[in-house]
């Protein structure tokens, strides 16, 4: 029997991994205690996802163990031992804003929890691939020191810079930078994952994610921006953008594409590796661009406030260079991007849960590389079909009406940016 242990199995990436690996014939042991609900409140609960997995995935076994519980984790690993071929570790406190509220919890979940899993792997399943979902926040705010130009809808790294064409690579320094407490706890885990590869020769790997998205996100204010943005667009909830005039750029990778990276790594693991894993030049957007697409999709203007206060350590421009991974695993390629998001393609975004987050999987191609008119491609989409799932029953009649009315031309009512950030960085 071939077993994968997936931590955070009810979360965005964890649940995608469960489905993907189950599709490959593996038996899955999931570990998730729904701590996301404790971090971010009822809206962020991943209980629905756990239930869905238990109902639909053959050979899925769920444990509500806390990854910080060393005895509990080791008991699970001891039970399956060398049959475990793969550990996909996604459980985390994932928000850098939340981390400052309770640094002890943030650090013990992100750093100590990872150490507990590494040790359990070394003891009971040392030949398994250990896949860690790290983050681009390990680079702290070093990306903000790049020379950036302010364009109409986004910040962009200066054309003369080596990162312009392909984005930020793994050689960016993790030192001399403000990480946020979250970035620091993830960096501690990231270093330890690398060390278990280098020191013990285990098949460990860090994927330093950009912005991850997909149909399984329980988006909330403090985490899962695209998913939350779409929720706000659908329900008419006011949305606040913090800092940088809403022109801050994130690259977005669909959860399927990321998990597919994990799978390729598992076929030919390289101990202690580190890969930047985001949408790269293939798929990225600024907040303003994302808002414009949401408005296009719902046919309704969003109520957006631009606050001049940027979030501590927030990236102004981040685009991942994924060429190292592509060099090591040339058979992998992106499956999702806006370019494919015609009506038929969009339907596939949400094959197993028709949540509004399916729209959050929409990604954007950089205007530097293609015309910045993603909304045109989305014109034919009927949002209602995407919203019919988990969220639809919870919408009040006003929100349902918003989605049911005929599409109208977009009139942006967003308030003017108040940020004083105009200088090049
Ligand atoms: N979502 C992003 O944009 C993003 C970007 C970069 C990196 N990452 C990293 O990728 C990973 C997955 O992110 P995600 O968006 O799927 O997160 P998520 O919050 O959707 O899923 C994480 C799951 O882990 C569970 N969990 C949290 N603490 C736990 C604990 N102590 N014990 C057991 N389970 C626990 C939560 O209940 C949740 O279901 C995280 O490590 C995150 O730091 C995410």
Give me the pLDDT at residue 43, please: 85
Whole-angstrom Cα distance, residue 156 to residue 158?
6
- Record the tokens describing residue 232, joined without a space: 């706000």
- Other CB atoms within a 10 A radius of the CB of residue 396 amount to 10
Give me the pLDDT at residue 377, please: 27
- Residues with Cβ within 8 Å of 143's Cβ and at least 6 positions away in sequence, in order, are 136, 168, 172, 315, 316, 317, 318
Of 9, 35, 92, 216, best ligand 1 pocket probe by most atoms within 8 Å of the beta carbon:
92
* Cα 179 versus chain centre, distance: 18
Domain boundaries, the chain: 1-141+178-209, 146-166+218-253+281-319+340-425
Chain position carrying tokens 């038929």: 344
Residues written for the chain: 425
Give me the pLDDT at residue 259, please: 98
Of 33, 94, 225, best ligand 1 pocket probe by most atoms within 8 Å of the beta carbon:
94
Q: Domain 1-141+178-209: what homologous superfamily?
A: NAD(P)-binding Rossmann-like Domain (3.40.50.720)
Give me the pLDDT at residue 394, please: 45
Query: Is 11 close to ligand 1, i.e. is its CB under 6 Å away?
Result: yes
Q: What is the DSSP string of 261-328?
A: HHHHHHHS--TTEEEEES-GGGSEEEHHHHHHHHHHHHTS---EEEESPPPTT--SB--B--HHHHHH
Give me the pLDDT at residue 371, please: 25
- Other CB atoms within a 10 A radius of the CB of residue 312 amount to 15
- ∠ CA(61), CA(67), CA(72), 5° rounding? 70
Q: What SS3 state is found at 422?
A: coil
Q: What is the side-by-side order of every strand in the sheet holding 60-63? A: 60-63, 27-31, 3-7, 84-89, 129-135, 203-209, 273-277
Q: What is the pLDDT along the chain (425 residues), one digit of tens a residue?
A: 899 999 999 999 999 999 999 999 999 999 999 999 999 999 899 999 999 999 999 999 999 999 999 999 999 999 999 999 999 999 999 998 899 999 999 999 999 999 999 999 999 999 999 999 999 999 999 999 999 999 999 999 999 999 999 999 999 999 999 999 999 999 999 999 999 999 999 999 999 999 998 877 777 788 877 878 888 888 899 999 999 999 999 998 989 999 999 999 999 999 999 999 999 998 888 999 989 888 887 888 999 999 999 888 889 999 999 999 999 999 999 988 643 333 333 333 332 233 333 343 443 333 322 222 222 222 222 333 334 344 444 445 555 555 444 333 222 223 333 232 333 32
292 CA to middle of ligand 1, Å?
28
Query: Is 13 close to ligand 1, i.e. is its CB under 6 Å away?
Result: yes
Q: Do domains 1-141+178-209 and 146-166+218-253+281-319+340-425 have the same CATH topology?
A: no
92 CA to middle of ligand 1, Å?
4
Alpha helices in 177-286 (DSSP H): 180-198, 225-235, 255-267
- Other CB atoms within a 10 A radius of the CB of residue 172 amount to 19
Q: Domain 146-166+218-253+281-319+340-425: what homologous superfamily?
A: UDP-galactose 4-epimerase, domain 1 (3.90.25.10)
Query: Is 185 close to ligand 1, i.e. is its CB under 6 Å away?
Result: no
Query: Helix crossing, 225-235 with 397-404: angle to 10°?
Result: 90
Of 40, 67, 91, best ligand 1 pocket probe by most atoms within 8 Å of the beta carbon:
91
Name the closest-CA residue to atom 21, ligand 1: 11
Whole-angstrom Cα distance, residue 331 to residue 201?
25
Query: Is 167 close to ligand 1, i.e. is its CB under 6 Å away?
Result: no
Query: Is 16 close to ligand 1, i.e. is its CB under 6 Å away?
Result: no
- Residue 274 vs residues 127, 192, 324, 337: alpha-carbon distances, Å: 18, 12, 9, 24
422 CA to middle of ligand 1, Å?
34
Are the C-beta atoms of residues 238 and 300 closer than 8 Å to each other?
A: no
According to DSSP, residue 320 is labeled: B
This prediction's pTM: 0.85
Are the C-beta atoms of residues 52 and 30 closer than 8 Å to each other?
A: no
Query: Is 33 close to ligand 1, i.e. is its CB under 6 Å away?
Result: yes
- Residues with Cβ within 8 Å of 423's Cβ and at least 6 positions away in sequence, in order, are none
Give me the pLDDT at residue 369, please: 25
């Amino acid at each position: 029997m071939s077993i994968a242990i997936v931590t955070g199995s009810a979360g965005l990436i964890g649940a995608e991994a469960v489905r993907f690996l189950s599709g490959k014939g593996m038996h899955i042991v999931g570990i998730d205690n729904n701590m996301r609900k404790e971090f971010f409140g009822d809206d962020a609960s991943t209980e629905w996802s756990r239930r869905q997995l238990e109902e639909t995935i053959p050979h899925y076994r769920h444990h509500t163990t806390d990854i910080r519980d060393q005895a509990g984790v080791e008991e699970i690993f001891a039970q399956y031992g060398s049959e475990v071929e793969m550990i996909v570790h996604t459980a985390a406190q994932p928000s850098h804003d939340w981390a400052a509220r309770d640094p002890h919890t943030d650090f013990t979940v992100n750093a100590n929890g990872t150490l507990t899993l590494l040790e359990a792997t070394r003891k009971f399943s040392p030949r398994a691939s250990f896949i860690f979902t790290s983050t681009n926040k390990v680079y702290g705010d070093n990306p903000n020191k790049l020379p950036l130009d302010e364009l109409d809808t986004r910040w962009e790294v200066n054309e003369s810079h080596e990162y312009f064409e392909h984005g930020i690579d793994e050689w960016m320094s993790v030192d001399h930078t403000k990480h946020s407490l979250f970035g620091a706890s993830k960096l501690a885990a990231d270093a330890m994952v690398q060390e278990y590869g280098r020191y013990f020769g285990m098949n460990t790997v860090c994927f330093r994610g950009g912005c991850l998205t997909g149909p399984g996100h329980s988006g909330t204010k403090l985490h899962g921006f695209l998913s939350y943005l779409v929720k706000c667009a659908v329900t008419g909830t006011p949305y606040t953008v913090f800092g940088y005039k809403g022109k801050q750029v994130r690259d977005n990778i669909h959860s399927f594409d990321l998990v597919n990276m994990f799978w390729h790594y598992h076929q030919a693991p390289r101990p202690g590796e580190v890969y930047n894993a985001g949408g790269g030049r293939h798929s990225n957007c600024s907040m303003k661009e994302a808002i414009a697409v949401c408005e296009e999709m719902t046919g309704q203007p969003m109520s957006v406030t631009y606050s001049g206060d940027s979030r501590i350590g927030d990236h102004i421009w981040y685009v991942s260079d994924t060429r190292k991974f592509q060099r090591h695993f040339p058979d992998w390629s992106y499956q999702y991007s806006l370019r494919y998001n015609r009506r038929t393609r969009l339907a596939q975004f949400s094959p197993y849960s028709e949540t509004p987050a399916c729209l959050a999987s929409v990604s954007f191609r950089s205007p530097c590389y293609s015309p910045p008119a993603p909304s045109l491609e989305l014109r034919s989409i009927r949002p209602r079909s995407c919203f019919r799932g988990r969220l639809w029953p919870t919408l009040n009649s006003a929100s349902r009406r918003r989605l049911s009315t005929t599409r109208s031309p977009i009139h942006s009512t967003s308030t003017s940016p108040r940020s004083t950030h105009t200088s090049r960085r």
